[in-house]
Amino acid sequence: MTSIELTSTGMAPDWLKRDQVFEFLKPAASSRLDLSHNCILYLEDLSVSFDGFKAINNLNLYIEPGELRCIIGPNGAGKTTMMDIITGKTQPDSGQAWFGQKIDLLKLSEAEIAEAGIGRKFQKPTVFEQLSVFENLELSMSGSKGVWPTFRASINSEQHDRIDETLQMIGLKALYTRPAGVLSHGQKQWLEIGMLLMQNPKLLLVDEPVAGMTHQEMDRTGELLTSLAGERSVVVVEHDMDFVRSIARTVTVLHQGSVLAEGTMDQVQNNSKVIEVYLGE
C-alpha cells in the first residue's frame, strides 16, 4: 500500500476528502437567490443566549427586496447580534434565517454568506489607507481577492466602468487618486460602502453609519443609502433619530432581543411601549 503524504498540519490533503465539492462545480449562491415570495430576508423565531442571557429572543423579521429598513432600539437590544447571525458570525440556538426562498443562512459559513450576496458594513471603516480611493475599489471587486496586483494589470474596461459608476455613487469621483488615509471620516465610510458595492450585494447591512459624522456628511449618507435601496435591500441600524427620520420608511424597534414595534417613524414614536422603553433608558 502506498503511503499518503500528510500536509504540514497533519491532515490529509484536500483532494483526498471524498465529500469535497470543488469550487468550480458549485453554482454561485447568488444565482440561487429566489425572491419569488417577495422576501429577501426571513428571520423566524431566532434565539441566542450568551451565558444564559437571551440576547435574541424569538425574533421574527421579514425584509422585502429593494426595501430600506431602519432598525432602532436601546443599547443591548440585540441589533448587532442580529447582524452577526445573518452574516454567520454567530450561530443561533434555535430558529431560522433564510436569504430568499432557498438559501438557508444557518448552513453557510461567513465567507459563503458574503459570496451569496450579503454585504456588511461595520461601524469602523476598514479601508486600505495607503492605497488610492480607486485602488481600494479595485481590490474589492468580486473575484479579485488575493490576486492583486496581478489582477490589476488585467482590469478591463467593463470593470473600469463599474469602478467609475461606484465612485460617482459614493461621491468620491474627484478624489479617486487620493490615498484613502487622507479622507475625512465620512468619506472613508462612503468608500467602504463603495467597496461593499463592488461585490454586488443584494442585501446590505449597515451598523451605525453616521456615528462621528458631521451634519453635512449625515445628509449625504442619507441620500446615498436611499439611492442604494431599490436595486438591493438595505438594513440600517442607527441610534441617531434625526437621521432615521430623514431616511426611514419602515422602522423596526428591537428590545430585549425581539421586535417591540414596527411601522412608520411616526407610528413607532407614538407607540406607548416604545416610549416606555426609551424613557426608561
Ligand X SMILES: Nc1ncnc2c1ncn2[C@@H]1O[C@H](COP(=O)(O)OP(=O)(O)OP(=O)(O)O)[C@@H](O)[C@H]1O
187 binds ligand X, rule: CB under 6 A: no
Cell of 132: 488610492
Of 24, 5, 25, 26, which Cα lies nearest the Cα of 16? 5
Residue type, 48: V
From Mg ion, ligand X, none, which one binds at residue 76 (CB under 5 to 8 Å depending on kind)? ligand X
Q: Which amino acid is at 268?
A: V
Closer Cβ to ligand X, 90 or 200, answer by number: 90
User: Which residue's Cβ lies closest to Mg ion?
Assistant: 80
With binding defined as CB under 5 A, does residue 80 bind Mg ion?
yes
Q: Which is closer to ligand X, CB of 23 or CB of 51? A: 51
Residue 81 interacts with Mg ion (CB under 5 A): yes or no: no
Binder of ligand X out of 30, 80, 136, 166 (CB under 6 A): 80
- Whether 77 and 254 have beta carbons less than 8 Å apart is answered as yes
Q: What is the DSSP letter of 249?
A: S
> Quick one: which segment of 75-83, 114-122, 197-205, 273-281 binds ligand X (CB under 6 A)?
75-83
Size of the site for ligand X (CB under 6 A): 10
Is 272 a binder of ligand X (CB under 6 A)?
Answer: no
**In terms of C-beta density within 10 A (0-12 exposed, 13-18 middle, 19 or more buried), how is residue 127 classed?**
buried
3-state class of 139 per DSSP? helix
Check residue 76 for interaction with ligand X (CB under 6 A). yes
Residue type, 110: E
Q: How far is the CB of 163 from ligand X (least distance, A)?
A: 32
Quick check: 173 and 1 in contact, CB under 8 A? no
Spatial separation of the C-alpha atoms in residues 197 and 226, rounded to whole Å: 14
Q: Which residue has the cell 436569504?
A: 99
Number of residues that bind Mg ion (CB under 5 A): 2
To ligand X, the closest distance from the beta carbon of 74 in angstroms equals: 7
List residues binding Mg ion (CB under 5 A). Answer: 79-80
Query: Contact residues for ligand X (CB under 6 A)?
Result: 50, 55, 73, 75-81
